Structure 1
Amino acid sequence: MLEILATIISAAITLFIILDPLLSVSMFINLTRGLSRTETLKQAGIATAVAGALMFAFLVFNDIIFSVLGIELESFKIAGGIILFILGLQIVLGLEIGGKSAHDERAGQTDGQLPAGAVRKSMAGVIIGTPIMCGPGTITTVMILGSQDGIILTALAVALSLLFIWLVLAFSSKITAILGETVIVILSKIVGLLLTAIAVHTIWSGVIGLVQLSMAGF
């Protein structure tokens, strides 16, 4: 029982880190500025629902995806780990890889370059849900965890991480007011470092798995 609980908590923490709540806070505040408390909570719910729908979809159908594409989990771990590593570097170093840096895109949009008026406000939840929270890194992690820990345990971890992310978004203005923008940025860098560490572990696990498969073939 304790082992199962530890697995769920560990997976939930991993997902929570990759969902990147700290970097989402500033952008969420900008996108929902001027909205009522009720509407802000609604947009937080939409963001969580959008991210959750994508995560559960890839969790349930990951075996089918692997089968159709004809790839091994180990290969996916390596490819996914590389993606996570790049995302982590973007957060920590503010690198621009294939577009704007993570900080510019998510947390640094204070120069007014946001969708205007009603469109901006009505789409806030969707924009935060994907690709800000649920992007390639999140999808990759969900599929890997599902294959390693099983659908049920991973589903519980996904639900727990989504609860945490909703709380962060729902109280984003208070969190920012208490911590301040500088602390948010510093914490986001730490999160990015943790993400790169998770990525290295994922890549190494994939390499070991491929080596074992190759040795078993002889």
Structure 2
Amino acid sequence: MDQDSLDISFKAVASVTLILFSVIDIVGSIPIIIDLREKEGKIESLKATVIAGVIMVIFLIVGTQILNLFGIDVSSFAIAGAIILFLLGLEMILGITLFKSEPEDGSGSIVPLAFPLIAGAGSMTTIISLKSEFSELSILLGIIINLVFVYIVLKSSGWIQNKLGKGGANILRKIFGIILLAIAIKLFKTNI
């Protein structure tokens, strides 16, 4: 393999990684993660990361076929994800609980954390879009790199929460709640 093909491959992986990083936006999700940590008592970082990874890899390989099997187009899928993100934003701004889960079952690590927050409509539609421009291997490597970063952020969310304090976390939660509402509305408008 010559040097040019290695450079192209590195560029492709770097591009995919950055695109997915901006769509997944795990740093922007820190207030939601902190909120879930308070509700659930803990976040199962590895479980959430692995489940999100499995969802994204499955979607990379057979995503379009799965949606077609159920007669669902990508836009409808994105709108469903937008509605969930909208409700999460409302929870954050209004201080209400719409997504109830039993703390002992740890389902918060799956819904809404693994899906739709990490592996949501945005990341899945992005993965489908990336397939037209990049190889599946480049996309897979981009997913894996992002999952490592997701795991680090999830694992350190308790430390981040302690550094922010209760007041800082509340302010951040409200600000990102509004941003989440805006993202949900944009997703909805784009796909309607």
Q: Same fold (TM over 0.5)?
A: yes
C-alpha spacing 1:176/1:108, structure 2 compared with 1 (3 Å): farther
Task: Assess if the C-alpha contact under 8 Å between 2:49 and 2:151 holds in 1.
Answer: yes
Displaced runs of 4 or more, over 3 A: 62-71, 80-84, 97-100, 104-114, 187-197
Task: Assess if the C-alpha contact under 8 Å between 1:48 and 1:165 holds in 2.
Answer: yes
- The structure with the largest alpha-carbon Rg is 1
Gaps of 5+ in 1: 88-96, 207-218
The Cα RMSD (Å) is 4.2
Residue equivalent to 1:158: 143
Residue equivalent to 1:210: none
CA deviations 1:9-47 (Å, max 9, x no partner) are: 3223233228963353133312442x5xxxx5xx11111
> How many angstroms apart in 2 are the aligned matches of 1:99 and 1:194?
8
TM-score by length of 1: 0.59
- Which stretch has the larger CA shift, 58-67 or 154-163? 58-67
Residue equivalent to 2:122: 137
Residue equivalent to 2:172: 183
Residue equivalent to 2:108: 124
C-alpha spacing 1:193/1:66, structure 2 compared with 1 (3 Å): closer
Residue equivalent to 2:33: 25
Identity of aligned residues (%): 19
Residue equivalent to 1:211: none
Equivalent in 19, 22, 25 of residue 11 of structure 1: 19
> How many angstroms apart in 2 are the aligned matches of 1:81 and 1:16?
16
C-alpha spacing 1:191/1:160, structure 2 compared with 1 (3 Å): farther
Report the secondary structure of 2:55's partner residue: helix
> How many angstroms apart in 2 are the aligned matches of 1:154 and 1:19?
21
> How many angstroms apart in 2 are the aligned matches of 1:48 and 1:28?
15
Gaps of 5+ in 2: 1-6
C-alpha spacing 1:111/1:62, structure 2 compared with 1 (3 Å): closer
For these two proteins, the number of residue pairs brought into alignment is 177
Using the TM superposition, give the Cα deviation of residue 116 of structure 1 relative to its aligned residue in structure 2, in angstroms.
Answer: 3.3
CA deviations 1:130-183 (Å, max 9, x no partner) are: 244323333222222233322111111111221121111111122123232113
